[in-house]
Amino acid sequence: MEYLKEKEMMISRMRQALCKIMDDEGNSLDREVISACRRLNFALNEYNELLRRTIK
Query: Which residues span the domain enclosing 51?
Result: 2-55
pLDDT in the model for residue 25: 62
- For the stretch 1-56, pLDDT in tens is 687 788 788 878 877 887 777 777 666 667 877 787 788 888 888 888 888 888 76
The reported pLDDT for the residue numbered 26 is 66
Q: Note the Cα 33 to chain centre separation in Å.
A: 12
Give whole-number Cα distances, 36 to 2, 6, 17, 25, in Å: 24, 18, 8, 13
Q: Tally the domains of the chain.
A: 1
- pLDDT at residue number 35: 83
pLDDT value at residue 53: 85
pTM to 2 decimal places: 0.59
Cβ atoms within 10 Å, residue 36: 19
